[in-house]
Chain A
């Protein structure tokens, strides 16, 4: 029975607003020397202005129809060279009700103001993952563990009080559904397809770890 523990560095930080969100998250990785990270955002106002090119500055003035709010967002972000990829989950709303039917949120939306974030960062290593890139595995146990078809027997998940995140390494944020995160291993069955990986978070008594897990579970 084994899991693959990943060396995880808990952090609290601020990301800039105004830039496309994936770029602000990329700045966070670069600043901290991470190759990838699990990042949570809560109650953050956001904007999406029609016709605003990637490198354009935000307008000086925001209007209600361009604004929404991320109620909760949890995402894995990884960088490979100049490429930045995110795969995550979110709950959000736009002020304009017709926009709320969409089940995905672009990673290029912009936060309307800088945001406080919490998460775990991962440093470069030799453990190849689809969700987090090539990261360093932990020598002993870790709060963050990788589960995939390649990691072996599916019944190794014998630890209790854990949350399991089904990651689909495609770009953007999916509107959260309970199937994406399960809290108990025995009931989940781990029926993921070949594309998917599962990130398993153990519970922790460490205050910072706990705050990150609280935000992660605040869906």
Chain B
């Protein structure tokens, strides 16, 4: 548990806030490219700032400031003809990558992008989507770096046919076994967790020791400052940012990256549009309809009773903590290793930046950042004594047969 003062320090991200200054040292997802199908200007609400995508006098797409009312709702999406650009406000550079418009809201030169798989893959192999969560960005991130929660929050009491699992998380088989992820998570709920600091953030290894002297290995990652990279299926990974709209709301932006076939973007979009309303990408299941809670389903099919979409489970868990989690009352434990190490990194970054040492933050050295590839993110089952080598080998095999250059 930490004081309100310290909680404010690591959660608040508006202009001139310590954590906000850290996040502003990195490119931030600002919109999906598909949002630009609408006529410009397109409103953006990002890091406590009211912004708008426009073309400047040179025809370049930029993120400018827009005028706003004081009582404007956080996820306001005013009509095009009601948007007034604030010519005196800051204007930020943008870059479009893999279906996402990234913006740089910081001072000085923006850093290079690392060569993560989601950026290296062909456009056909990456699908982007986003969704609204009505809570602070930090608790949204922290659930994503807690490997233990999946065994409870995402517990499915029955296993689906993996053939029907396309585009869904945890429904596929594990590696070359006949085990499904749902079965592994359900039957082995207490992972041994190891966390390693890397040049991009944290590598999180979860070991679920099984009955037959085999171990299930799941490698996930925290990408500093507010993204994760996790396996979705044997074929795909998820790289997901938790981007503050303001201190009380955030968007998850996900790049689904396929190592095998081109992504069926139409199907994946259709799946997700069933769950979200445009233009705000607000989830149809939310606190106002109790996240679709069904007691009968809870008794027979899922741990939460909130349907098969694990995003809804996570949304309920993080929104249920309140707009900003009250960390004056939390008690972290041993399974929170990754959260503990992440907060250490964040506090260190905040302190370093306050001392003017931006170079102490991860991925700020442009010579090095281009050499950051991967990260390794997969599920594997191996003989218990041999899990590390097998996991690495499985990653290499997947990369070797990948149609785009996934070599490391």
A50 within 8 A of B: no
Q: State how many angstroms separate the Cβ of A33 from the closest Cβ of chain B.
A: 19
B383 within 8 A of A: no
B120 within 8 A of A: no
Q: Which residues of B contact A115 (CB under 8 A)?
A: 340, 344
Select from chain B the residue with minimum beta-carbon distance to A14: B337
A210 within 8 A of B: no
A44 within 8 A of B: yes
Select from chain B the residue with minimum beta-carbon distance to A63: B3
A60 and B4 form a contact (CB under 8 A): no
Annotate A69-80 by CB proximity to B: 1 below 8 A, 0 otherwise.
Answer: 101000000000
Q: Given A17-B332, A69-B6, answer yes or no on A43-B344 (Cβ-Cβ < 8 Å).
A: yes
Q: State how many angstroms separate the Cβ of B388 from the closest Cβ of chain A.
A: 16
A45 and B6 form a contact (CB under 8 A): yes
Q: Given A43-B348, A71-B351, A114-B333, answer yes or no on A62-B341 (Cβ-Cβ < 8 Å).
A: no
A26 within 8 A of B: no
Distance in angstroms between the alpha carbons of A60 and B326 in the assembled complex: 12
A64 and B329 form a contact (CB under 8 A): no
Q: Given A113-B332, A114-B332, A114-B334, answer yes or no on A62-B340 (Cβ-Cβ < 8 Å).
A: no
A113 and B1 form a contact (CB under 8 A): yes
Q: State how many angstroms separate the Cβ of B93 from the closest Cβ of chain A.
A: 32
- The count of chain A contact residues (Cβ–Cβ below 8 Å) is 25
Q: Which residues of A contact B341 (CB under 8 A)?
A: 116
Secondary structure dominating the interface of B: helix
- The count of chain B contact residues (Cβ–Cβ below 8 Å) is 24
A113 and B6 form a contact (CB under 8 A): no
B5 and A95 form a contact (CB under 8 A): yes
A18 within 8 A of B: yes
B6 and A114 form a contact (CB under 8 A): no
Q: Which residues of B contact A137 (CB under 8 A)?
A: none
Select from chain A the residue with minimum beta-carbon distance to B347: A43
B2 and A45 form a contact (CB under 8 A): yes
A61 within 8 A of B: yes
B328 within 8 A of A: yes
B1 and A112 form a contact (CB under 8 A): yes
A67 within 8 A of B: yes
Q: Which residues of A contact B329 (CB under 8 A)?
A: 60-61
B336 within 8 A of A: yes
Q: Which residues of B contact A166 (CB under 8 A)?
A: none
Q: Which residues of B contact A114 (CB under 8 A)?
A: 332-334, 336-337, 340
* Chain A stretch 27-65: residues in CB contact (< 8 A) with chain B: 42-45, 58, 60-64
Q: Which residues of B contact A16 (CB under 8 A)?
A: 334
A67 and B5 form a contact (CB under 8 A): yes
Kindly identify which residue among B6, B328, B344 contacts A116, using a CB–CB cutoff of 8 Å. Answer: B344
- A→B interface (CB under 8 Å): 14, 16-18, 42-45, 58, 60-64, 66-67, 69, 71, 95, 112-116, 211
7 contacts between A and B (CB under 8 A): A63-B328, A69-B347, A95-B3, A112-B1, A113-B343, A114-B340, A116-B344
- The list of the 4 closest CB pairs from A to B, nearest first, reads A43-B347, A67-B3, A64-B3, A113-B332
Identify 9 new A-B residue pairs, CB closer than 8 A, beyond the known A43-B351, A62-B2, A211-B197. A42-B344, A60-B329, A62-B1, A64-B5, A66-B3, A67-B6, A112-B1, A113-B1, A114-B332
